[in-house]
Amino acid sequence: MKKFLLLAILLAPVADCAAATHMGRAHNMMDKRISLGLSDEMRQHQLVNMRAHLDAVQKITGLLAEKKYDKAAKIAHAQLGLTEEMKRMCGMFENEEFKALGLAFHNSGDELGNALKAKNPRKSLKALNKTLGYCVQCHEKFQQ
């Protein structure tokens, strides 16, 4: 009996780990989003970019609240807009729908920058909503 108890205690962490691995697989099987099949390096690069976009949106929102439209517009164009670098990066993806959403997102970043330059809060918020809408569409459809 003592040997069985000792064996159970020693194997408990292994069982927990196996269960967690199985749960992770089950979760992934339930996730019906399209995988982009990225390498680990590309996945990390993409995560860094998306976090930078989220950071830019937060900065823009704060600046909009302070009515600092010019600063917000610069961030929108530089960090969310369709720069040459973003064009190249979007062009690297094989999935055409993902590529199109990425380009639409970055175009909307430029539209947001233009709306902010007009210093119209309603127009700026509508443009920000459009940009965030592309984020939602993409995250609903795709996974890394």
DSSP secondary structure letter of residue 81: S
Rounded-to-integer distance, Cα 98 and Cα 118, Å = 30
Q: Which pair of tokens denotes residue 125?
A: 């918020």
Q: Where are the domains of the chain?
A: 1-31, 38-143
Higher pLDDT, 12 or 112: 112
Token representation of residue 52: 């930078």
The Cα 109–Cα 131 span in angstroms is: 6
30 token code pair: 């339930």
**pLDDT digits over 49-93, tens only?**
999 999 999 999 999 999 999 999 999 999 999 999 999 988 888
CA 120 – CA 69 distance, rounded (Å): 9
Q: What is the CATH number of domain 38-143?
A: 1.20.120.10
Helix, strand or coil, per DSSP, at residue 67 = coil
Q: Is the entire prediction scored with pTM above 0.85?
A: no
CA-wise closest residue to 126 among 139, 140, 111, 107: 111
And the tokens for 111? 């539209």
Q: What is the pLDDT of residues 80-137, one digit of tens each?
A: 999 999 999 888 888 899 999 999 999 999 999 999 999 999 999 999 999 999 999 9
As given in the structure block, the two tokens for residue 7 are: 């064996």
